[in-house]
Chain A
């Protein structure tokens, strides 16, 4: 168990809908990262937050947004969902901004 908790584990929704994925980092970790992994693909970095502030942005679509709350948990919001958004979404956390990342078990999103 990495100590990073992601909910829900599975999410099935329809095109055009909006969903929120939740991540609780390891105790003491200030950084949270979000990744997307499509079938048989590598990890695509989406966005990083450090202590409540956005620190780095990757290949995140404008339809997607995230935030980190004062208690350090993070949410990834996906809107106007398309079939191609179906993927595994992983959250990772680290102590600082450049430390080893520990991953949650992921949320599997299916857009029908």
Chain B
């Protein structure tokens, strides 16, 4: 079983601050996805990264896939209370057999 680890587990910051959360594995993934889940709602797909070293931007969110395709990061610039939620990374293992989720980073942005 290929595991995805996420750090930090919890993060509480003030509005306007920048932050980075990480998703790591000892195994290679053919692609990684980032989801955001708001309380009481289902996870919503934010982005998919496929190529090692790939960087994708979604407004104030920047996603990067590691060169070796074993890790990914999500950087948020000037965080806003609306960014509050559970951020989950997920990936398809390199054998193309399984889609696994990390445990998530719970972000709280205080006004």
Contacts and interface: CB of A to CB of B under 8 A. Distances in A.
Interface residues of B, number: 22
Contact of A40 (B44, B45, B98, B106): B106
Interface string B94-111: 001111011110100000
- If over half of A's interface residues share one DSSP class (helix, strand or loop), that class is named, otherwise mixed; here it is loop
A111 interface: no
Interface string B38-61: 001111110010000000000000
B19 interface: no
12 contacts: A42-B86, A42-B101, A42-B102, A43-B104, A45-B101, A98-B96, A99-B99, A101-B90, A101-B99, A104-B42, A106-B42, A108-B40
Interface of A: 2, 4, 40, 42-43, 45, 56, 88, 90, 92, 94, 97-106, 108
Given A2-B42, A98-B96, A98-B97, 18 more contacts: A2-B44, A42-B103, A42-B104, A45-B101, A56-B98, A88-B40, A94-B99, A97-B97, A98-B92, A98-B99, A99-B92, A101-B90, A102-B45, A103-B35, A103-B42, A104-B42, A106-B40, A108-B40
